Amino acid sequence: MNKNTFTYYNFLFTILCFIQSLKAQTTSPVQDIFPKGTITYSNVSYAHDTLTRHLMDVYLPPDTKGNLPLIVFIHGGAWMLNSKYSDINYMKNTVKSFIDSGYALASIDYRYSTQATFPAQIQDCNEAVEYLYQHSTEYKIDKNRIAVIGFSAGGHLASLMGLSNNNDVKAFYPPQGAPHFKIRCVLDFYGPSNLEMMASNPDTTINNNQNPIALLLGASAVDRPDLARRASPVTYIDKNDPPFIIVQGEKDESVPNTQSKILSSWLTLAGIPNELIIVPNAPHFGSMFDADYIRLRLFNFLAMHLRQ
């Protein structure tokens, strides 16, 4: 290919990227939750393929000038349900407050366990955040101030991202290799932290080969504790991990609150700053987690660990 031909194709590629960027600035099904004037990039492809589960939305405050701290939102759904809009719908006030407070927000999808077994899900999460890191100028974000927030299965993935980020687990990254980003802090809402312990929970042992953890791992945790340990966030805790705030319902029927307690204890033993909030009488998910007092603690945590 001669120089002129290369220049032409490079120009064409730039134009196509610009057109795609314009198309991305559309509305999303949860647009009315956000403050008026929120800048929205919908269905951004982060993996350079055509999979619908490899899309994300990016939300920026109105009149954004740049260098915004970024919060990456990872949805729940037993690793096989829901979408990048799901948990936003019952965390409306918290999500709106992220934008009002000057944070950028990216909500990502990832492959279901029914499409691909672990570690596909953590690969996708890492690839999405690496994309945002590499395109930080385009989205006006500070690539050195990134937090992750996740709910249920998304809480598991957010915790796993934060804790394995400094462990160089090659299987957790796409073929391009280890990411360049660092996670500054983690907001974990009722995510499983120890899948081996979850194997003793009746909700995960009934119909053992078809429960969510077995579908995620490709085998039951009882039969393959090695796989369960590999996929457990607590496996990767060390003194260099980021701070955590952990929120879970007292009466969670799907993930025992001992999962959050054991995570907090291991973080404390490693010297990692963490806060644990057990919400009285709260079930596995819902608007009880969008309460004012929880939001106040979240934003104090972010001010301390992400704003600085």
- What is the pLDDT at residue 176? 77
* Mean pLDDT of all residues in 106-134: 98
* pLDDT, position 25: 47
Confidence of residue 26 (pLDDT cuts 50, 70, 90): low
Residue 88 counted as domain residue? yes
- Give the per-residue pLDDT at 235: 98
Instruction: Classify residue 75: in a domain, yes or no.
Output: yes
Q: Which domain holds residue 253?
A: 35-194+232-305
Q: Report yes or no on 207 lying in a domain.
A: no
What mean pLDDT do residues 193-202 have?
84
pLDDT band at 208 (very low <50, low <70, confident <90, very high): low
In total, how many domains does the chain have?
Answer: 1
8 occurs within a structural domain: no
Whether the CB-CB separation of 78 and 137 falls below 8 Å is answered with no
**Whole-number pLDDT of residue 31:** 87
pLDDT bracket for residue 1 (50, 70, 90): very low
Q: Is the dihedral of CA 206, 211, 212, 213 positive or negative?
A: positive
Q: Is 47 a member of any domain?
A: yes
The answer as to whether 28 is a domain residue is no
Instruction: Kindly report the CATH number assigned to the domain that includes residue 135.
Output: 3.40.50.1820
DSSP 63-122: T--S-EEEEEEE--STTTS--TTTGGGT-HHHHHHHHHTT-EEEEE----TTTS-TTHHH
Q: Which residue has the higher pLDDT, 208 or 304?
A: 304
- Per residue in 231-254, pLDDT (tens digit) is 999 999 999 999 999 999 999 999
For residue 101, tell me if it sits in a domain.
yes
- Contacts of residue 30, defined as CB under 8 A and 6 or more positions apart, other chains included, come to 85, 88, 89, 95
Confidence of residue 24 (pLDDT cuts 50, 70, 90): very low
* Position 308 confidence tier, pLDDT thresholds 50, 70, 90: confident
Q: What is the mean pLDDT of the chain?
A: 90
Tens digits of residue pLDDT in 150-190? 999 999 999 999 999 999 999 999 887 888 999 999 999 99
For residue 201, is pLDDT > 90?
no
The per-residue pLDDT for range 45-76, each reduced to its tens digit, is: 999 999 999 999 999 999 998 899 999 999 99
CB 137: neighbour CB atoms within 10 A?
10
What percentage of the chain carries pLDDT values higher than 90?
82
Q: How far is CA 178 from the centre of its chain?
A: 17
| pLDDT greater than 80 at residue 18 | no
Q: Is 271 domain-assigned? A: yes
